[in-house]
Amino acid sequence: MKTLFLIPLILVSVLLNAQKQQLDTIYANDSKNVALFFPNPIKQAITGSENFVFTYNREKEQYFGLLQAAPGIESNLLAITSDGKVYSYILKYDDRIKTLNRFIRKQESIGEEKPVVKNITNAPVNEDNYKNRMTFFEKFSRFLLERDLKTIASKNERGINLMLKEIVYQHTETYLVMEIKNKSDIDFEVNYLDVSISNSNKKRKSSYQGLTKKPVFKYNFPSIIKSSETKHFVYIMPKFVLGDNEKLEVRLKEFRGNRYLKLNTRIN
């Protein structure tokens, strides 16, 4: 099973960490195109604000893209090239632009997008820190749902299919990308979907269920999945660490019904 550790896919929140990362600034305006040439073809790119537009060939990977901007607040650009390199820049509007073409070097990459597992410390939930990050959670969740994902684990029960599509570590959160498919003839109303860590100790021949992890944000989470319907959504959790005998557990319960699914998987 593969788990993605995305380093670091920053949209709006990059502004909060710009000083630590010392990101370069690129200037743009609404009267000229600023051409950015990357060392490898562009696979994905996104800006953090609508007043900046970065256009590139989405059908056929090419080495360059064009940046334009309307007056407004500063933002950022995130780009991933075909070799998995991640590039991030601060974007600012300027009436007078000195540089219209920029050739980006590989050394400017801030990291790589690759499937690796990282041990991460448990992060306490501080709700005050999340209030100003809702826009980023929404944009990053949308970004994840647009990806072509493979299923990590799934559970089927009486026509209901619960799937864990991807696990992404970003900043101080863990993003669980999930899918519920209703293949039955009866609509499925959601009572709850809980995420927790279960432990099984073979030496002691015992098992127990840990405390339920409370999500800091839910994106596109459905209240009902109608017959023959599929819903994709993201659960954003505080970062957590799994021990050698621990599994990630997702439990889905039907409201006004008896259908219940429990999905277990290891992150390794």
- Residues 195, 224, single domain; the answer is yes
Mean pLDDT calculated for residue range 52-64: 86
**Is pLDDT larger for residue 114 or for residue 149?**
149
Answer whether residue 17 is part of any domain.
Answer: yes
CATH of the domain at 140: 2.60.40.1150
Mean pLDDT of 99-113: 89
**Residue 109: φ, ψ to 5°:** -60, 140
Residue 116 placed within a domain: no
Tell me if 122 is assigned to some domain.
Answer: no
pLDDT higher than threshold 70 for residue 116? no
Q: Are residues 131 and 254 in the same domain?
A: yes
Question: Does residue 22 share a domain with residue 134?
Answer: no
Asked, for residue 117, whether it belongs to a domain, the answer is no
Same domain, 105 and 23: yes
Q: Are residues 143 and 241 in the same domain?
A: yes
Residues 91 and 154 reside in one and the same domain: no
Q: Per-residue confidence at 15, pLDDT binned at 50, 70, 90? A: very low
The pLDDT of residue 102: 93
CA atoms within a 13 Å half-sphere pointing along the CA-CB vector of 171: 20
Over range 101-114, report the average pLDDT.
87
Confidence of residue 128 (pLDDT cuts 50, 70, 90): low
CATH code where residue 74 lies: 2.60.40
Q: Is residue 30 part of a domain?
A: yes
Domain-embedded: residue 120: no
The pLDDT, as a whole number, for residue 253 is: 94
- Top pLDDT among 19 and 262 is at 262
End-of-domain residue from the set 111, 146, 176? 111
How do residues 178-218 score in pLDDT, each as one tens digit? 999 999 999 999 999 999 887 765 544 444 445 678 899 99
* Residue 2 forms part of a structural domain: no
Half-sphere exposure of 30 (CA within 13 A, CB side): 5
Do 142 and 253 share a domain, yes or no?
Answer: yes
pLDDT, position 190: 94
Longest dimension (CA), the chain: 71
Task: Kindly state the average pLDDT of the residues 60-78.
Answer: 91
**What is the reported pLDDT for 101?**
94
pLDDT at 29 over 70: yes
Q: Is the pLDDT of residue 76 over 60?
A: yes
157 and 228 assigned to the same domain: yes
* Rounded percentage of the chain residues whose pLDDT exceeds 70: 79
Q: Looking at the structure, do residues 70 and 156 belong to the same domain, yes or no?
A: no
**Whether 233 contacts 225, CB under 8 Å:** no
Range of the domain at 55: 8-111
**What's the pLDDT score for residue 111?**
84
For the chain, how many structural domains are there in total?
2
Structural domain includes residue 35: yes
pLDDT at residue 12, rounded to an integer: 36
Query: How much is the pTM?
Result: 0.51
Last residue of a domain, one of 111, 142, 157: 111
Low-confidence winner among 4-18, 99-113, 115-129, 240-254 (lowest mean pLDDT):
4-18
Indicate whether 133 and 210 sit together in one domain: yes
Exposed, middle or buried, 256 (CB in 10 Å: 0-12/13-18/19+)? exposed
Residue 254 sits in the same domain as residue 135 = yes
| For range 162-186, the mean pLDDT | 90
State the burial class of residue 204 (Cβ atoms within 10 Å of its Cβ: 0-12, 13-18, 19+). Answer: exposed
Confidence of residue 18 (pLDDT cuts 50, 70, 90): very low
Residues 91 and 37 in one domain: yes
